[in-house]
Structure 1
Amino acid sequence: MKRVMISPNRYVQGAGVISEIGNQVKLLGSKALVLGGKTALANVRTVLEKSFADNKLGLVIENFGGECCQKEIDRLVVSAKTNQADVIIGVGGGKALDTAKAVAYYAKLPVAIVPTIAATDAPCSALSVIYNDNGVFESYLLLPKNPDLVLVDTAVIVKAPVRLLVAGMGDALATWFEADACAKAFAGNLPGGMSTAAALSLARLCYDILIEYGHQAKLAVEKGVVTGAVEKVVEANTLLSGIGFESSGLAAAHAVHNGFTVLEETHHMYHGEKVAFGTLVQLVLENRSTGEINEVLEFCGKVGLPVTLAEIGVSQITEEKIWKVAQTACAPGETIHNEPFPVSPEMVYAAIMAADALGSVYKAGK
């Protein structure tokens, strides 16, 4: 039985570390194509340009089009080749970072990842989630290696809206439960092996940090300050969740998220917010204990994650809509089939409706 664990080559986190980016990137190349959204680039551009100039590195900046789709990836690959870049840098949120990783893969170049939000575990993974031009999930692009550098400036992270940090907690919340399901099922992980004890331990540590420090971190970010709790939660959202999901595996929570992408009314919600509800669905699907479900409900309530269908945008609930989500979540090859028992659309439909009922009762009792 082969066990495989993968991780970024170098992970750097702390307040102010963006000023070191040139010193870090020069280990990878001499001219970078930097891609990111306008807001993300605006937050780091001055410091980034100074650090590159101080280290005598070339720099070309491209605005990210907003969707991690094949058309955008192809456009940026052409730009990298035209500008003779020898390293790709992604700045921003999950879709921009996934795009940077895909561009680096197709251009056969190293990649540095600079998240400006802690909303997903995308920064550390050897994976890009590909959507179509309209934002509907299309496929996973499995990459041959993790990013060469992940640089996380927590002073930048706390400037972003607190909802983004909370969404990252929602994505990270699934990590332990999905890892546990895969371990029980002897399901393979993303790099094609079984989970190591280290990866499972990191997945559990991710959950424990969220429960212990998540609310503290949210309150600190609301004040725009970096505290020990913020550092721990950013690490959980980014590094621990990234290694945990990738080296231990995904299961129902993310498959349910993918199912909800077929409903246009959920498109305004962040990935992690939908994954949080998907986690509740997974707990119901697995017939987890009342204590475990209540702990997740309490955590979501404290930090502001959705626990009902209405809270992820499905205010008009119909059998047709939920059935469509359930069928999509159970598509061949979906990660829901990593659960330690056979899963059918009927089971997922029931779990979604029951999770919504549990969430509604919890909200009513607050």
Structure 2
Amino acid sequence: MSHIGKELARIGHSAVLIADRRVQEICGDVIQQSASAEGVDLTVIPFAGEITYEEIARIVDEIGNSKPEIIISAGGGKTIDTGKIVARDTGAAFVSVPTVASNDSPTSHIAVIYDKDHKLVGVEENNGNPELVLVDTDIIIKAPIELLSAGVGDALVKAFEVEQCISAGGKNVFGATSPLTALALARACYDTVREHMIVAYRAHATGETNESFEALVEACVLMSGLAFESGGLSVSHGMTRGLSAIPGVASALHGHQVAYGLLVQLELEERDAAFMDDIRAFYRDAKLPLKLSHLGADQITESIIQTIATVSAEASHMKKFNREICARDIAEAIARIEAA
């Protein structure tokens, strides 16, 4: 983090830092001092805590006519996604500084927008990927394990989604055919997560980074992001539409939502019992959700399952599957998961 000033100076000499109060306490002074040492003029605008169209507009209005060359977002996925669209709307370069490894938002140009109740309402795009992604694992290791487990969930699903997208002849987020390079990267991401998760979690418990922790963070932040943008998404991410429509579940971390979505996808793929047993065992070790109750659902009724299925079935990602699936297919898959 102390080297960020040198990196910023390669991009421009005026910047706005978007960060919530907690993140400002963690790294605000270091960023300010490093930027100042390299002649980068830095202004801080506090982030209110939720990525909404209103919050984006508020920050753009606060910036006003004094357009910075760089927008820096420091924090988690909400802050980072907010910064992407602020950068787009102000014509600035974008720099992401994740303080957690809870998803691959720091690498991508996609921003997922919610309302004040954390219901998904839109997906926006920056003009390009970040000019810089600066990851300091000495900071990330201090974040709660729940956030790291969400990053594991978000990274884990990409191999399965890219495989399905390619199989279905779907398009990636740029509207292009998914290259085999993306599939290779998605599979490497999956292998890295499976190989390093347990030892990385042990490192997290001690507060001291090791090679496995570094590898896991790279998988969660970089490999996962490159894989999904180039390779495409499928059912796992399509499920976030329906899951975010359910009170309690809507506030679950993105990585936990898509991890549950992967269970639905694997049921739709008709994976055998041995495969599902292996995945469920990994979920337990990784602290990932196996039931809707683990995502915060107070009760599981047929009505709730049907709502999730109906809303999810309308997601565009659902078409990137090797056969046509409908709300009934999704509801039946959820019922099997809940009964397991």
Shorter-chain TM-score bucket reads over 0.9
Q: Distance in 1 between matches of 2:245 and 2:309?
A: 10
1:352 is the counterpart of 2:334: yes
Q: 2:316 aligns with which of 319, 334, 338?
A: 334
Q: Which amino acid counterpart does residue 150 of structure 1 have in structure 2?
A: V
Give the total of aligned pairs.
340
Aligned to 2:182: 199
Q: Give me the whole-angstrom Cα distance separating, in 2, the residues matched to 1:85 and 1:230.
A: 35
TM-score by length of 2: 0.97
* Shift, 1:57, TM fit: 1.1
Alignment match of 1:91 (pick from 67, 74, 77): 74
Which runs of 5 or more residues in structure 1 are unaligned?
Answer: 1-17, 359-366
Aligned-partner SS, 2:134:
strand
Structure 2 counterpart of 1:219: 202
Deviations 1:96-118 (A, max 9, x none): 10000010011111000000000
1:308–1:357 contact (8 Å) kept in structure 2: no
Distance in 2 of aligned mates of 1:293 and 1:82: 55
| In the alignment, structure 1 residue 64 sits paired with structure 2 residue 47 | yes
> Structure 1, residues 50-84: CA drift from partner, whole Å, max 9, x if none?
10111011111111111111111111112233443
Q: Give the counterpart of 1:186 among 169, 175, 181.
A: 169
Q: Distance in 1 between matches of 2:101 and 2:150?
A: 8
Aligned to 2:111, what secondary structure does the other structure show?
A: strand
Distance 1:181 1:41 in 2: 40
Aligned to 2:212: 229
C-alpha separation in 2, matches of 1:83 and 1:225: 42
After superposition, residues 1-366 of structure 1 pair within 5 angstroms as 18-331=1-314, 333-358=315-340
State whether residues 67 and 92 of structure 2, in contact with CA within 8 Å, keep that contact through their aligned partners in structure 1: no
Tell me which amino acid in the other structure corresponds to 1:199: A
Measured at CA, do residues 113 and 45 of structure 1 come closer, stay the same or move farther in structure 2, by a change above 3 Å? same
Paired residues of 1:110 and 1:148 also in contact (CA < 8 A): yes
* Cα distance in 2 for residues equivalent to 1:185 and 1:268: 31
Q: CA deviation at 1:290?
A: 2.5
Q: Secondary structure at the match of 1:314?
A: coil
CA distance in 1, matches of 2:59, 2:150: 28
Q: SS where residue 199 of structure 2 aligns?
A: helix
Alpha-carbon displacement from aligned partner over 1:21-74 (angstroms, at most 9, x marks no partner): 110011111111100121122111121111011101111111111111111111
C-alpha displacement at 1:248, in angstroms?
0.6
Whether the aligned pair in 2 keeps the contact of 1:258 and 1:329 (CA below 8 Å) is yes
For 2:49 and 2:269, the matched residues in 1 are separated by 36
Contact 2:118 2:251 survives alignment (8 Å): no
The amino acid of 1:164's aligned partner reads L
Q: Distance in 2 between matches of 1:84 and 1:30?
A: 12
Using the TM superposition, name which of 38-47 and 236-245 deviates more. 38-47
Q: Which has the higher contact order (CA 8 A, sep 6+)?
A: 1
8 Å CA contact retained: 2:179, 2:231: yes
1:160 aligned counterpart, secondary structure: coil
Give the 3-state SS of the residue equivalent to 2:157 in structure 1.
Answer: helix
149-158 or 34-43, which deviates more? 34-43
Identity of aligned residues (%): 34
In the alignment, the residues of structure 1 paired with residue 209 and residue 18 of structure 2 have an alpha-carbon distance, to the nearest angstrom, of 26
Letter in 2 for 1:306: P
Secondary structure at 2:2 match in 1: helix
Q: Give the distance between the partners of 1:261 and 1:136, measured in 2 at CA.
A: 5
Kindly provide the CA deviation profile for residues 88-137 of structure 1, in whole angstroms up to 9, marking residues without a partner as x: 00000001100000100111110000000000111111101011232110
Q: Quote how far apart the aligned CAs of 1:353 are.
A: 1.2
Check whether the contact 2:164–2:322 (CA below 8 A) recurs between aligned residues. yes
CA distance in 1 between partners of 2:43 and 2:65 (Å): 11
- Report the AA paired with residue 291 of structure 1: A
1:60–1:83 contact (8 Å) kept in structure 2: no
- Measured in 2, the distance between the counterparts of 1:342 and 1:19 equals 51
Contact 1:34 1:61 survives alignment (8 Å) = yes
